[in-house]
């Protein structure tokens, strides 16, 4: 199972480096199935911090700081509530929450009409608060950020660069709130190395792999993982 998780981690990191998003979205299904909803999310959040650390240097020049700081500030305030929610829910309910957030994340492309109302400073505060809550509870903060980007007409390049700073901030506070994973250190070291290796590999892949292909692979992996998590949660309701 560690080998399978390591392979998915590499794929998630490559996609993150090529597209600027979706590391946790691709990883969350397999890692939750292997390690459980609490430990799996805790590991995913920690690995996402490593991925962001590798992504920030190349993205730094394109960061839109005014928008980034509003999103980051609101998210940091809301993150404790997300961590408390995750800690309070029983395992089946937490699986359902993670699966539902995965579906929401994958449905963001159809949120155009809603996203048009998420703009300006109020939109940044609302989207940031929701994203911070979701990151601390499930690691899936992308939907709220993407909705704000759509509504505020945020250029994709500036948004993807700024998201790395936001993810790094959300990840740091989530790790602080949730604590470090209880998984044995050798396993964590392997997954961390796979994350770093995938980000490095992704830097080369970004020059050769079409963005559209990377997004299709991302959607396939993420939908598969999300549906399996929902299936496991549903099965747990009847056992």
Any idea what DSSP says for residue 90? -
- 3-class SS of residue 22: coil
Average pLDDT over residues 143-149: 77
Q: Where is pLDDT greater, at 194 or 18?
A: 194
Quote the Cα angle for 96-181-89, to 5°: 30
Q: What is the pLDDT of residue 225?
A: 67
Distance in angstroms (rounded) separating the CA atoms of residues 147 and 1: 35
User: Cα separation of 61 and 121, whole Å?
Assistant: 22
Whose CA is closest to 52, among 35, 30, 68?
68
Whether the per-residue pLDDT at 14 is higher than 80: the answer is: yes
Instruction: List pLDDT tens digits, range 169-211.
Output: 999 999 999 999 999 999 999 999 999 999 999 888 877 877 6
Q: State whether residue 114 is helix, strand or coil.
A: helix
Residue bearing the bigger pLDDT, 116 or 224: 224
Q: How far apart are CA 87 and CA 22, in angstroms?
A: 24
Token pair listed for 37:
């909803």
Nearest CA to 44 out of 59, 21, 26 is that of: 26
Structure tokens belonging to residue 92: 């089946």
pLDDT tens digits, 64-118 = 999 999 999 999 999 999 999 988 888 888 888 877 877 776 676 565 555 555 6
Select the more confidently predicted residue: 118 or 147.
Answer: 147
User: What's the whole-model pTM score?
Assistant: 0.84
Average pLDDT of span 209-229? 72
Report how far residue 186's alpha carbon sits from residue 97's, in angstroms, rounded to the nearest whole number.
29
On whether the CB atoms of residues 118 and 151 are closer than 8 A, the answer is yes
DSSP notation for 147-196:
HHHHHTT--HHHHHHHHHHHHHHHHHHHHHHH----S-HHHHHHHHHHHH
What pLDDT is stored for residue 91 in this prediction? 80
- The residue behind tokens 């937490």 is 94
> Number of structural domains, the chain?
1
Instruction: For 27-65, write each residue's pLDDT tens digit.
Output: 888 898 889 888 998 999 999 999 999 989 888 988 999
| Domain of residue 62, residue span | 2-237
């Amino acid at each position: 199972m560690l080998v399978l998780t390591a392979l998915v981690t590499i794929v998630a990191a490559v996609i993150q480096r090529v597209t600027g998003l979706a590391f946790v979205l691709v990883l969350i299904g397999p890692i939750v199935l292997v390690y459980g909803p609490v430990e799996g999310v805790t590991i995913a959040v920690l690995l996402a911090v490593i991925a962001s650390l590798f992504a920030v240097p190349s993205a730094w020049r394109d960061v839109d700081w005014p928008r980034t700081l509003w999103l980051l500030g609101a998210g940091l305030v809301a993150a404790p509530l997300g961590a408390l929610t995750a800690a309070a829910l029983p395992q089946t309910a937490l699986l359902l929450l993670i699966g539902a957030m995965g579906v929401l994340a994958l449905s963001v492309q159809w949120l155009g009409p809603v996203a048009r109302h998420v703009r300006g400073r109020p939109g940044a505060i609302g989207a940031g608060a929701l994203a911070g809550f979701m990151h601390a509870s499930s690691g899936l903060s992308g939907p709220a950020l993407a909705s704000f980007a759509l509504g505020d007409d945020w250029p994709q390049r500036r948004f993807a660069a700024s998201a790395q700073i936001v993810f790094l901030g959300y990840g740091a506070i989530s790790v602080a709130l949730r604590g470090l994973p209880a998984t044995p250190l050798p396993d964590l070291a392997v997954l961390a190395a796979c994350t770093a290796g995938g980000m490095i590999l992704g830097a080369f892949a970004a020059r050769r792999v079409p963005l559209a292909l990377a997004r299709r692979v991302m959607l396939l992996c993420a939908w598969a993982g999300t549906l399996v998590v929902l299936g496991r949660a549903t099965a747990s309701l009847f056992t």
